Amino acid sequence: MARAGILYSDVVRAAEKISQSGAAPTVDKVRAMLGDTGSKSTIAPMLKQWKDAHSSDAATIKSGLPESILNAVRAVYELIQAESDNTISQTKTECDQQLAEKNNQLSTLTEKVTLLEETQRALQEQLSREQASNQSLNRQLNECKTSLSTLESEKLGLTSRLIDNEKQLDALHHQLTSSRQQFEHFQAASAEQRNDDRRLYEAKITRLESELRQMHAINATTQTETAQLKAEILRLETTQSKMKEIAQIQLNELSSLDANYNKTTFKLEDAERRNGLLSEQLQETTQRLQDASIQIALLSKNQTLLEQQITELQEKDASDEQAKLHLIARILEKHEANANRASENLKEDQGK
């Protein structure tokens, strides 16, 4: 069976889907969304009606517009309303014409069916002789029935579209009433807003005049303070000149002190250098004294050992006194030689 026709609700759903995707609904896009069905002349007025209703809903949401914009919106609304009335009237006329045409076609087809039925009854008498002709007539009858079913479906579609158009007409009347009420409310709110603005403006002027008087008083006080500040600045400039002279004198004295400081620092560094050399010499002398003390201790130890040996020799050989004396003389000479050598080393170290 063929499609019953494009309804206004189908166009609305397709336009809303396209608008939600971020694109602008057009006749071609809506037709593509509907599966490339429906004529552009049918879709165009429905899409225009949806756009008009959409823009009217958006306009009723806003409030607080200037009067010039409101007048422009009112003019656009009246134009849209006139176009909507014309579109509805035109659509209704077209639907009536199409319905009349379909009824004429239905009557014609009904007459054809009646004629075919009469022909069929006549052909049934000749069924045995004209079997082939009967089959052809049966096919024609089936085609006529199919056409009749198609016409009935189209009739149902046109009836549904007529009902949708009536609903749309009621919605437009409701929107017109709502817009009038909102316009009256907006006029009252605008008048009240203008009165409030006038009162606020008068209060603002009074406050600004008071602030201007205060600014004049502050200006007079500021001029007095400016004169005092100028006198203070002059006194500070004089004091600054004197301070610059004193600073110059102190700077000259500081330069002299820097020169003396540099000389003293040089002498101190030279004294520290000499003190370092003396410290090194003292450390060397102390080390030599320690070495000499160790040698003297060793000599004392050797002397003690020699005295023990002498005592032993005296105990062992009391008769050989000559040999003992000779040995003692040799030991004493050796001891004296070692002592003299140690004393000389010590003197040399002290002399250094």
Instruction: State pLDDT tens for residues 202-212.
Output: 887 788 788 87
CA distance linking residue 214 with residue 202, whole number of Å: 19
41-50 contacts: CB < 8 A, separation 24 or more? Answer: 42/5, 42/6, 43/6, 43/11, 45/87, 45/90, 45/91, 46/6, 46/8, 46/11, 46/12, 47/11, 47/15, 48/83, 48/87, 49/8, 49/84, 49/87, 49/168, 50/8, 50/11, 50/12, 50/15, 50/25
Rounded to an integer, what is the distance from CA 317 to the centroid of its chain?
A: 119
For residue 96, pLDDT beyond 80: yes
CA distance linking residue 134 with residue 124, whole number of Å: 8
For residue 4, pLDDT beyond 60: no
pLDDT of residue 250: 72
Length of the chain: 352
The dihedrals phi and psi of 317, each to the nearest 5 degrees, come to -130, 80
Each residue's pLDDT tens digit, 147-169: 788 878 888 887 888 788 788 87
Neighbours of 77 (CB within 10 A): 20
Q: Where are the beta strands (DSSP E) in the chain?
A: none
CA angle 302, 305, 311 (to 5 degrees): 140
Place of tokens 């002290």: 350
Each residue's pLDDT tens digit, 222-279: 688 768 867 877 887 788 788 778 868 877 877 777 777 788 788 878 878 887 888 7
CA distance linking residue 301 with residue 307, whole number of Å: 10
pLDDT of residue 3: 47
pLDDT tier, 44 (very low <50, low <70, confident <90, very high otherwise) = very high
Rounded to an integer, what is the distance from CA 331 to the centroid of its chain?
A: 108
Place of tokens 């008071």: 210
Helices (H) and strands (E) in the chain, counts: 6, 0
pLDDT of residue 267: 82
pLDDT of residue 55: 67
Overall average pLDDT of the 64-69 stretch:
60
pLDDT of residue 66: 58
* Residue 285 CB contacts under 8 Å (≥ 6 apart), including other chains: 349, 350, 352
CA distance linking residue 341 with residue 334, whole number of Å: 11
In 3D space, the residue among 221, 93, 237 whose CA is nearest the CA of residue 158 turns out to be 93
Token pair, residue 7, equals 């309804």
Overall average pLDDT of the 175-184 stretch:
77
pLDDT more than 70, % of the chain: 87
Distances in Å between the Cα of 123 and the Cα atoms of 41, 120, 143, 212 are: 46, 5, 18, 114
CA distance linking residue 99 with residue 159, whole number of Å: 9
Q: Is 55 exposed, middle or buried (0-12, 13-18, 19+ CB in 10 A)?
A: middle
